[in-house]
Amino acid sequence: MKPPQFNEPPLEQQLSEQFERASQWLKQTLPKLLPIAGGLIAVLWLASGIYSVNPGHVGVVRTFGKETARTEPGLNYRFPWPFQQADVVSVEQIRRIEVGFRAGQRVQEEALMLTGDENIVEAQIVVQYRVADPSKFLFRLREPEVALSAATEVALRSTVGSMTIDQVMIEERAKVQDDARVFIQRLMDAYESGLVITEVKLQAADPPDAVRDAFHDVVRAREDKEKLINQAKGYQADILPKARGEAQKILREAEGYKEKRVLLAQGEASRFLSVLAEYEKSKEVTRDRLYLETMEKILPDTDKVILDGDLGQRLLPLMPLGTSPLLPASLRPATEPVKGK
């Protein structure tokens, strides 16, 4: 018995049937899906107006290209494009530009400058700045950094051109930076750029390569000269106070010695006058007292015997006190002993 045979429709007919079924399904389903898809697209479009502003930033909202609002840090909303747009600008970030070099490589056309004494110097400078007014920063200048770079070059050339090469390279580098910063800020304010120059650093100021070694020799010699002068000034500042102190010490000692001698002289004079007054009253007694006081000073550690004039005549002549020229006349015996042959 033969198996039954089925007649399958051709492939083209099968595809045509599937396409018909799909078309029928779309005709039935599409009217239901369009509102859902439209709603989803509308939700996504409206959600695209949500944006965030980080701390230290300010949001500037534009309506048809014109600024209409500013937003603070946090989550904010604006009408989606094409009605409104929002630009977020950092107002605390310190930015920088370089003039005269890029990434450590010199840019000769920017670096070569003419000083006031007609010397050539290669200057490299870094300018640090921040955005103070987001509206001016966004809408006043098309390329604020390009304008700032050009203003920096103009300011630096003007400042360097008003000074000598020694002032630019050695003596007044700080003044070059300050003058350039003021000049740049004045130019950027005139452009209404909305930028504030926070710092200007003169990275390098050197003569051209052809004369650099010779110039550095001159600079080193000048630095050695300044070093010796400063050492001498330091020694002067150290020795002068000491000398003044020694002089003051000697003067004080001399004044003290003077006062001492004057007081001693005055005391001696007073003592002499008092002794003279006593002497005038009783010459013999005063003379004897002075003699005894003098002997006490001369012979402090010896035994002393004081004899009356009459008593001395009755003593044995073991001690010829009567013949001593040191005895005053009142203590000498009336008659001197006769000297033996």
CATH label of the domain that carries residue 179: 3.30.479.30
Token pair for 292:
């005894």
User: Considering the domain boundaries, does residue 43 fall inside one?
Assistant: no
Residue 9, pLDDT score: 59
Claim to verify: residue 120 and residue 187 sit in the same structural domain: yes
User: Considering the domain boundaries, does residue 28 fall inside one?
Assistant: no
Residue 39, pLDDT score: 74
Q: How far is 316 from 337, CA to CA, in rounded Å?
A: 11
Tens of pLDDT, residue by residue over 224-251, are 888 899 999 888 888 888 888 889 999 9
List C-alpha distances in Å: 242 to 228, 232, 235, 327: 21, 16, 11, 59
Nearest CA among 83, 190, 87, 78 for reference residue 138: 87
Claim to verify: residue 79 and residue 161 sit in the same structural domain: no
Average pLDDT of the chain to the nearest whole number: 79
Burial class (CB in 10 A: 0-12, 13-18, 19+), 144: buried
Residue 203, pLDDT score: 87
Token pair for 139:
């809408």
Q: How far is 12 from 31, CA to CA, in rounded Å?
A: 29
Q: How far is 165 from 254, CA to CA, in rounded Å?
A: 57
User: Residue 62's beta-bridge partner residues?
Assistant: 67, 85
Claim to verify: residue 138 and residue 226 sit in the same structural domain: no
Residue 315, pLDDT score: 52
CB 215 within 8 A of CB 121: no
Claim to verify: residue 80 and residue 102 sit in the same structural domain: no
Within 13 Å, how many C-alpha atoms sit on residue 116's CB side?
12
User: Considering the domain boundaries, does residue 19 fall inside one?
Assistant: no
CB 176 within 8 A of CB 168: yes
DSSP string, 66-112: EEEEEE-SEEEE-PTTTTEEEEEEESSPPEEEEESEETTEE-HHHHE
User: Considering the domain boundaries, does residue 338 fall inside one?
Assistant: no
CB 44 within 8 A of CB 63: no
Token pair for 190:
């005139």
Claim to verify: residue 254 and residue 305 sit in the same structural domain: yes
Claim to verify: residue 85 and residue 143 sit in the same structural domain: no
CB 107 within 8 A of CB 97: no
Q: Of the candidates 207, 242, 266, which is a domain's last residue?
A: 207
Tens of pLDDT, residue by residue over 168-183, are 887 888 899 999 999 9
Tens of pLDDT, residue by residue over 205-225, are 888 777 667 777 777 887 888
Q: How far is 235 from 48, CA to CA, in rounded Å?
A: 76
Q: How far is 291 from 332, CA to CA, in rounded Å?
A: 14
Token pair for 317:
């002549």
Question: Is the peptide bond between 10 and the residue preceding it cis, with omega within 30 degrees of 0?
Answer: no
Claim to verify: residue 145 and residue 202 sit in the same structural domain: yes
Residue that is written with structure tokens 């001498």 in the block:
232
Within 13 Å, how many C-alpha atoms sit on residue 111's CB side?
22
Claim to verify: residue 195 and residue 217 sit in the same structural domain: no
User: Considering the domain boundaries, does residue 21 fall inside one?
Assistant: no
User: Considering the domain boundaries, does residue 287 fall inside one?
Assistant: yes
List C-alpha distances in Å: 333 to 184, 295, 328: 119, 20, 10
Query: What range defines the domain where residue 56 resides?
Result: 50-90
User: Considering the domain boundaries, does residue 5 fall inside one?
Assistant: no
Token pair for 67:
């600024």
CB 81 within 8 A of CB 45: no
**Residues of the chain with confidence (pLDDT) below 70:** 1-11, 13-14, 25-34, 211-212, 300-341
Claim to verify: residue 165 and residue 102 sit in the same structural domain: yes
Tens of pLDDT, residue by residue over 109-118, are 888 888 888 8
User: Residue 129's beta-bridge partner residues?
Assistant: 95, 197
Q: Of the candidates 143, 175, 207, which is a domain's last residue?
A: 207
Number of domains in the chain: 3
Q: Of the candidates 174, 207, 240, which is a domain's last residue?
A: 207
Q: 75 CB contacts (<8 Å, ≥6 apart)?
A: 50, 51, 52
CB 163 within 8 A of CB 123: no
Name the percent of the chain lying above pLDDT 90.
16
User: Considering the domain boundaries, does residue 149 fall inside one?
Assistant: yes
Claim to verify: residue 215 and residue 293 sit in the same structural domain: yes
Claim to verify: residue 281 and residue 306 sit in the same structural domain: yes
